[in-house]
Amino acid sequence: MSQQVYNFGAGPAMLPVPVMEQVRDEFLNFQGMGVSIIEISHRAKQFEKVLLDAQERFRQLTNLPDNYKILFVHGGARMQFSALPLNLAGRSASKKCLYVESGNFAKLANKDAKAFGDIQVIASSADTNYDRIPAVDPSMIDQDAAYLHVTGNNTLYGSRWQTFPETGAVPLIVDQTSEMLSRVLDYSKFGCVYAGLQKNLGPAGTALVVIREDLLEYASPQTPALLNYKVCAGDNSLTNTANTFAIYVTGLVLEWLQQQGGVAAIEKINEQKAKILYDLIDGTDYFRGVILPEFRGTMNVSFNLPSEELEAKFLKEAGEVGLYALKGHRSVGGIRASIYNAMPLAGVEKLAGFMKEFESKNG
């Protein structure tokens, strides 16, 4: 028997084991059809049921109001960085779109948007190496803007918005890629939320986009059909061949989440997991967190050791005991433990045990 490996990778990330087992078990013969889920038409009634089921489960899990559409859009999260201004900048006569820069993906989001609108960064924490969520108060939000975009959880650093800014009539758009369904949120506060599937939902390459219906009316005429949210909503995400496999796996992950007790239940476990690691970091000078404590989320725990040599040794020895993919993002360095919904408590406990032992041997 090979040893149990815990995958702390940031994305693509681990999926729940029971989901992987079900995918394996029915891979060659989907529901007695004698063919695989990846071999049937996206317009087959069996796939249509998969899609509608996934959307319904998402709606139940989030208590999503009826006036929101759930879309599966090609291109992962980053494609939405362009799709958002294409679809929504037209809400403002001057195409003014507001962004908060709280990390690497937040920065990319406004960079990609620049081709399609008058992009204004109203707050940034770049000057303190993204160790916090920058303060935003309502007076900073121009009510003539098309929208305000924020990154819910900053994947490289582990910081998150504990509460989202009040935006008045300006729709709030949240990139939830690394925290989708990890905590209870009131979706009626959002104009649009979206996530690449590969962190908390399923395979890479597709994004789940949730958008309020009244926001479907502003797409620029240049918007490619496959990025046009109104077209996508009208075709229920089947404008062309959808990523059927990704949607199928996502549906199973959503079913698994319901079996765990839903978002409130997983949120409790996520808090417990993050607390184990942050308590350990707070109890020693040996491990140093990269963000200020009041901005900590529960999905990505990023920290440093006293030297790069020790970090290299830590990663090597962690790998040898089955703690996989703990290396921090190439632009930040250090260690990052991504502990998404699918990471069991036992994986976090094993990592904490390894950290304590490493400190006592190398401290």
Ligand X SMILES: *Cc1c(COP(=O)(O)O)cnc(C)c1O
Report how far residue 32's alpha carbon sits from residue 21's, in angstroms, rounded to the nearest whole number: 17
Site for ligand X in 153-192 (CB under 6 A): 155, 175, 177-178
Comparison of 107 and 313: residue with beta carbon closer to ligand X: 107
Q: Could you tell me the two tokens for 200?
A: 């908390």
Q: Among residues 175 and 359, whose Cβ is nearest to ligand X?
A: 175
Nearer to ligand X (CB atom), residue 11 or residue 347: 11
Question: Judged by CB under 6 A, which of 196, 202, 203, 328 binds ligand X?
Answer: 196
Minimum separation from the CB atom of position 129 to ligand X (A) = 17
Closest CB to ligand X belongs to which residue?
A: 76
**Residues paired with 119 in a beta bridge:** 97
Give the neighbor-by-neighbor strand order of the sheet with 335-338. Answer: 288-289, 300-304, 335-338
Burial (Cβ within 10 Å: 0-12, 13-18, ≥19) of residue 303: buried
Residue 60 beta carbon to ligand X: minimum distance, rounded to whole angstroms: 24
Q: Which of residues 43-82 bind ligand X (CB under 6 A)?
A: 76-78
Site for ligand X in 285-324 (CB under 6 A): none
Mutual orientation of helices 308-320 and 345-362 as an angle, nearest 10°? Answer: 130
| In the complex, least distance from residue 283 CB atom to ligand X, rounded to whole angstroms | 28
Based on the shown chain and the rule CB under 6 A, indicate whether residue 130 belongs to the binding site for ligand X: no
Per CB under 6 A, the list member of 8, 11, 50, 334 interacting with ligand X is 11
Q: What does the per-residue mask of binding to ligand X show for 327-346, with x meaning CB under 6 A?
A: --------------------
Q: Note whether 350 binds ligand X by CB under 6 A.
A: no
Cβ neighbours of 83 (radius 10 Å): 27
The pairs formed by 352-357 with CB atoms below 8 angstroms and a separation of 24 or more are 352/276, 352/277, 352/280, 354/317, 354/318, 354/321, 354/323, 355/277, 355/280, 355/287, 356/280
Exposure letters 170-192 (e unless 16+ CB within 10 A, then b): bbbbbbbbbbbbbbebeeeebbb
Q: How far apart are CA 155 and CA 316, in angstroms?
A: 23
Q: How many residues make contact with ligand X (CB under 6 A)?
A: 13
- Which residue in 92, 151, 200, 270 binds ligand X (CB under 6 A)? 151
> Please, which residue, 175 or 311, has the CB nearer to ligand X?
175
Q: How near is the Cβ of 202 to ligand X at its closest, in Å?
A: 11
**Judged by CB, which is closer to ligand X: 223, or 243?**
243
Separation CA 229–CA 209 (nearest Å):
9
Work out whether 105 is an interface residue with ligand X (CB under 6 A): yes
124, 110 contact by CB (below 8 A): no
Residues 208-237 close enough to bind ligand X by CB under 6 A: none
- At its nearest, how many Å lie between ligand X and the CB of residue 158? 11
Which chain residues interact with ligand X by CB under 6 A? 11, 76-78, 105, 151, 155, 175, 177-178, 196, 199, 204
